[in-house]
Amino acid sequence: MSTPLLETQGLTKTFGGLKAVQGVDLRVEANRIVSVIGPNGAGKTTFFNCLSGIYRPDAGTITLAGRDVTGRPPHQLCRQGLARTFQNIRLFPEMTVLENVLVAQFRHRVLSPVPLLLRSPAYRESEEKNCAEALEFLDFVELGARARNIAGNLAYGQQRRLEIARALATQPKLLLLDEPAAGMNPQETAGMIALISRIRERGLAVLLIEHHMKLVMAISDDILVLDHGIPIAHGAPEAIRQDPAVIKAYLGEEITA
């Protein structure tokens, strides 16, 4: 078997006495969509924050494309091909939509001071190439027409899509989406399902946190269920749907007299 794109072993994060994430093992193969679900407070976002380097895990390892990246800072993980979006949208609100995406291309730019200050032809060319690529990413999420607008003025659903375009612009191999369909109406959710499928078609793997069961069941290859930070089930959507432990975590135990 080939090395998985992302592998975690025994990943654990505690805040004081609270064990937010406990011993999570997860494998994400290239070009697959894996979902992490669980009730509120199950530790899904904490798990994501460990993966993307915002938190340093207390125990366990994270391997990205065969390389141990445990405890690396976010910008280095990004360099290794991992990008993410945030549950509470974190754009650069005062910048234009285009600039939001341009910032994400920083790691692909070779910057030396003299060509930058003198705006040498090579530098200008790379700037233009950058812009053209950024516009392509914006077109991909259907925001091309808003490129010159201030990001903070976009509608909520557009801001979510801009975050995805920005993450894609880092040219990742694995994209972490933290509740991309939160607060969306059925029509927008259908658009999001289509968008995530198109992201997979580009050859990316997607790791998804979502509460929207229809979305999760429609596109996931694999589902991991967390409850109180502990993985309680792992498998294909159909198996998860039937799993008694999952039903118990979501709905509580059936009262038997």
Partner 1 sequence: MARWRPYLLGLLGIAAITFPFLWLKLAPDFDRNTMRVEWAPAHGLQFFSDLSPAFLVALLIWLGSWSNRRWQWQARIASVIPAQRRPALARYAKCAVIPLVLSGAFFLSPGDLSLFTNVGIFMILALGLNITVGMTGLLVLGYAAFYAFGAYVFAMGQQELPWFPWWLAVPFAFLLGGGAGYLLGLPCLRLRGDYLAIVTLGFGEAFLQLIRNLPITGADQGIILKTSAIFRPGLDLDKHQVAFVITAVMLFVAVFLVERIHRSPVGRAWIAIRENEVAAASVGVPVVQMKLLAFSLSAAIAAVAGVLYGAKDGFVSPALGEFQLSITVLAMVILGGLGNSYGALLGAALLYLVPEYLKLLPSTIQQSPTLNAAIPSFMTDALGNLADYRFLLFGAVMVIMMLYRPQGLLGSSRRKEEMLHR
Q: Which residues bind partner 1 (CB under 8 A)?
A: 52-54, 73-75, 77-79, 83-84, 86, 90-96, 99, 102-107, 109, 111, 116-117, 119, 127, 130, 148-150, 153, 166-167, 169-170
What is the rounded distance in angstroms from the CA atom of residue 180 to the CA atom of residue 189?
A: 9
Residue among 25 and 128 whose Cβ is closer to partner 1: 128
Residue among 53 and 157 whose Cβ is closer to partner 1: 53
Residue among 117 and 251 whose Cβ is closer to partner 1: 117
Nearest approach in angstroms of CB 154 to partner 1 is: 12
* DSSP SS3 for 46: helix
Nearest approach in angstroms of CB 76 to partner 1 is: 9
Residue among 8 and 220 whose Cβ is closer to partner 1: 8
Nearest approach in angstroms of CB 73 to partner 1 is: 7
Nearest approach in angstroms of CB 97 to partner 1 is: 10
* DSSP SS3 for 134: helix
Residue among 104 and 207 whose Cβ is closer to partner 1: 104
Asked whether 85 and 160 are in contact (CB, 8 A), the reply is yes
Tokens of 217: 């069941």
Taking every pair of Cα atoms in the chain, the longest distance, rounded to a whole number of angstroms, is 81
Nearest approach in angstroms of CB 144 to partner 1 is: 13
Residue among 100 and 220 whose Cβ is closer to partner 1: 100
Nearest approach in angstroms of CB 172 to partner 1 is: 9
For 16-49, strand residue ranges (E) read 18-28, 33-37
* DSSP SS3 for 198: helix
Contacts of 205 (CB under 8 A, 6+ apart): 5, 6, 28, 29, 30, 31, 32, 33, 34, 173, 174, 175
Q: How many CB atoms lie within 10 A of CB 201?
A: 9
Asked whether 97 and 138 are in contact (CB, 8 A), the reply is yes
What is the rounded distance in angstroms from the CA atom of residue 12 to the CA atom of residue 10?
A: 6
DSSP 212-255: -HHHHHHH-SEEEEEETTEEEEEE-HHHHHH-HHHHHHHH-PPP
Nearest approach in angstroms of CB 48 to partner 1 is: 10
Tokens of 42: 């199950």
Tokens of 129: 């190439």
Residue among 151 and 246 whose Cβ is closer to partner 1: 151
